Structure 1
Amino acid sequence: MFYDQTPYKVKVEWGQRGARAASERGDIVIIVDVLSFSSTVVTAVQHKANVFPYPPPINENAKAYARANSAEIVWGRAEAIREGGHSLSPLSFSSADFGRDFVLCSLNGAACTWIASQVPALLIGCFLNASAVAEVANRLMQQLQANITVVPCGERWSDVRDGENNLRPGIEDYLGAGLILSQLTGSKSPEAEVCIGALKYSSKTIRELIWDCASARELRERGYEDDVTYCCQVNISSAVPILQDTRFINAKDLIS
């Protein structure tokens, strides 16, 4: 028999398999991919852009989906230098993107979103909007009479061998999930409590820890120090992306 966190109202699950577990339970889902799908979507929605998530990779299917929605592709950082346009860097979005449509693929956040797209409500959270997304999720829990699963996406190992799991947990997503979980109401699973404990233990040095974690070091070594600094900021945005049909809009515009 497979045992999970079902007895509890608030849970935490990792990556794509965790997103599927939450979806099969019919939970409200909060996707957390700090560096940087979640931070990018929050920033884009804050600037009133419309974001259509699509599973990776950026191939002919993704480009056709963008054309069908009259939307622009959001490239990876390296591809954006070559192709022009917006990238997975949240700092590539601004108030100039008001009303514009974008298709965003990413290995982790977009993939998890696609898997969980049929849940009662799917929200995007990170450090930038932790309190705002928790507030909306608590309200939806009451309105929809549904439980909540927070999904830190993590990263992927690129050199797995046969039979190995390619999920590489990322502390930036775990701590971001902990900050959101700490503000959710209802009974919490032991896994959720431990995640909150990690956040509390790290709270005084959280920026330093994330700055030097593996995911951030990778970005910094590629010249994206400003992205890491930006994504570590706590509660600077009230935008709460919620998946409505096939695109993210601000839940504050949808929920009374």
Structure 2
Amino acid sequence: MGNLTTWFEQEAYTVRFDWGQDGAARAGARGDAVIIVDTLRFSTTVAAHIAAGATVEPCHWKEGADTSLLSPLTLLPQPLLPITGGGEISVSLASPNGAMCCRAASTSGARAIFAGALVNASAVATAAHALDSPITIIACGERWPDGSLRFALEDLLGAGAMIASLRNLSSSPEAKAARAVFLSAKSQLHGRLLTCGSGVELMDKGLEADVHYAAQLNSLTVAPHLQDGVFSNSLASGDRILQ
């Protein structure tokens, strides 16, 4: 007989789908590989910075990190901080949604944590698939002014893109629904992102270019992997990307 702790776990399936910090914490507690999807803009920006050669430390926006770096177009050689002796670039990326979902998955014991979006969906699916582990894709969602979770179409589409790339694994009904939404919109991603609520918000703030960047399906071949609180690329140059 099921109960609240098992009804919604999607335990019979390899590919699972959930929302927000609570979903990330549940996935972490199961020991799943967790993919954090905050399409506008955290996950897209993490991928963009890593593609430019940086490592990224996710931070809550209240911790004082520079929120201007949340744009995927704020790339090197902007005033970022060199790591002493390593030659790499370290970015502290503030985010109230994606970063907090990363933290929830990490503190609850996730096997691995990736940052995924439309721009690197296939690359992240490849890296997660290689772990031979249950995978939960987390659509972060946004927040209403009272702090409650707001549905975010862009995150559903990003999650669905990764689930579509994991087609050889068993997917829960929840994951299949996200995949179906993505497939129905695959040829219209720019239009959907520009006209959804979050896209309209960014355009009103003069950030339309960020939305266009985030809508470019599989434009990057990086799989940001969180280790010791920092994202770096988990894919070697010879890894074969799932198509």
Are residues 1:147 and 2:134 paired?
yes
Match in the other structure for 1:223: 206
Q: Distance in 2 between matches of 1:152 and 1:127?
A: 12
Deviation (angstroms), 1:57: 1.5
Contact 1:56-1:111 within 8 A present in 2 as well: no
Q: Distance in 1 between matches of 2:236 and 2:61?
A: 29
Q: Distance in 1 between matches of 2:182 and 2:160?
A: 5
Q: Distance in 2 between matches of 1:180 and 1:197?
A: 12
Contact 1:47-1:95 within 8 A present in 2 as well: no
1:141-180 pair list within 5 angstroms: 141=132, 146-159=133-146, 166-180=148-162
Match in the other structure for 1:245: 228
Match in the other structure for 1:58: 63
Are residues 1:181 and 2:163 paired?
yes
SS in 1 for 2:206: coil
SS in 1 for 2:165: coil
The structure 2 residue matched to 1:119, chosen from 110, 114, 117, is: 110
Are residues 1:6 and 2:11 paired?
yes
SS in 1 for 2:218: coil
1:199-214 pair list within 5 angstroms: 199-214=182-197
1:39-54 pair list within 5 angstroms: 39-54=44-59
Match in the other structure for 2:84: none
Deviation (angstroms), 1:14: 0.3
Are residues 1:103 and 2:92 paired?
yes
- Superimposed CA distance per residue, residues 119-150 of structure 1 (whole angstroms, 9 cap, x where no aligned partner): 11111111111111111111112xxxx20000
Q: Distance in 1 between matches of 2:172 and 2:179?
A: 11
| TM-score, normalised via structure 2 length | 0.87
SS in 1 for 2:155: helix
- The CA RMSD over aligned residues, in Å, is 1.8
Deviation (angstroms), 1:202: 1.6
Q: Distance in 1 between matches of 2:90 and 2:63?
A: 16
SS in 2 for 1:8: coil
Match in the other structure for 1:69: none
Deviation (angstroms), 1:206: 2.2
Gaps of 5+ in 2: 81-86
Task: Write the letter of the residue equivalent to 2:137.
Answer: V
4+ aligned runs moved over 4 Å, structure 1: 95-98, 253-256
Contact 2:55-2:231 within 8 A present in 1 as well: yes
Task: Write the letter of the residue equivalent to 2:164.
Answer: S
Q: Distance in 2 between matches of 1:17 and 1:36?
A: 20
| TM-score, normalised via structure 1 length | 0.83
